[in-house]
Amino acid sequence: MTAVETLAVRPGHERRVPAEPMLLARLTDEELVLLGSEHPAVVLPHYEELSEAAQAVAVRTAHRSLLAHGAEPGADGRSVLVPQEVSDLLDVRHGAEWVLVVRRCHNLERDGATVSEVTTTYAHAVDDFALLEQVGDDGVHEFHGLERRGLAGALQHRLTASGVREGRGGPVRLDLEAVAHGHGDVAMDRLGPIVVQIDATVWRRGPQAAPVLLGVMLGAEGSWATRAAFGERGPVVLEPIGVGDVGGLVAGLLTTVVRSHRP
């Protein structure tokens, strides 16, 4: 039995879900397009930046790449038959009702200039299983499987960075409208330079209420988090947080939103 077959979430099948993230596969944007596996919540950062002509070339290249890595040509000569473990992985991904979407922007000093590295991580949740899909700007999708209860630890490892400090003091209230008009005492010195900016929300396959948005700022002078429903108005309240609590805070958003939709 292949590694992903043991992870397949199917009624009546025994599931052996790893406690720690297990690497399952790496697929590129164009390979996912070729397999008809675009996902409404998942970005294709490299492919979407290409011109239409370049996209066609990329898909043809992906076809050759999949064949070189064990896929077989379909009867029509254009499609591909992928290994069962890849098919199972994509079935789990497609069938997940809930997806935690986490965008991480890491600001780095490089050659005297500040550059930002952006990665997006998706946690496709099915019962006690989570399929982690991490996507970089290069359009490579790296898939890991793990127990859902291990999600906080897996995210902690992926989201934090060196050079950040614990939040301190009381909450900070930001009246963004007042700030935009040059008014308000913001006390931004308590925030300091932002090293990592994290934005998280939960996507549902089907009807859902206004998305809940979680923002986390990990800074050189302190770390802060704010939460709001999409469309809410009023001051933004930044709560001080511990750096070691980031993974649990983000994973907890998924738990909270899912529970709020249960009858």
pLDDT along the chain (263 residues), means of 10: 33 55 92 93 95 94 84 75 86 95 92 88 95 95 94 95 90 66 57 89 86 92 89 80 96 93 74
Q: Are 230 and 214 in contact (CB under 8 A)?
A: no
pLDDT at residue 6, rounded to an integer = 32
139: left (phi over 0), alpha (psi -120 to 50) or beta: left
Under 8 Å between Cβ of 59 and 72 = no
DSSP-assigned states of every residue in 196-230: EEEEEEEEESS---SPEEEEEEEESS-EEEEEEET
Q: How far apart are CA 47 and CA 37, in angstroms?
A: 13
pLDDT of residue 2: 29
Rounded distance, CA 91 to CA 10, Å? 10
Q: How far apart are CA 66 and CA 261, in angstroms?
A: 39
Over its C-alpha atoms, the chain yields an Rg (Å, rounded) of 21
b/e 193-204 (16+ beta carbons within 10 angstroms → b): ebbbbbebbbbb
Which tens digits make up the pLDDT trace of 164-200? 999 988 888 776 555 555 555 555 566 778 899 999 9
Structure tokens at 107: 């600001």
Contacts for 69 with CB less than 8 Å, ≥ 6 apart? none
**CA neighbor of 122 nearest in space, from 96, 83, 87, 147:** 96
> Contact 89/25 with Cβ under 8 angstroms?
yes
Whole-angstrom Cα distance, residue 87 to residue 94?
10
Q: Model's pTM, two decimal places?
A: 0.86
Calpha distance 142→132 (Å, rounded): 8
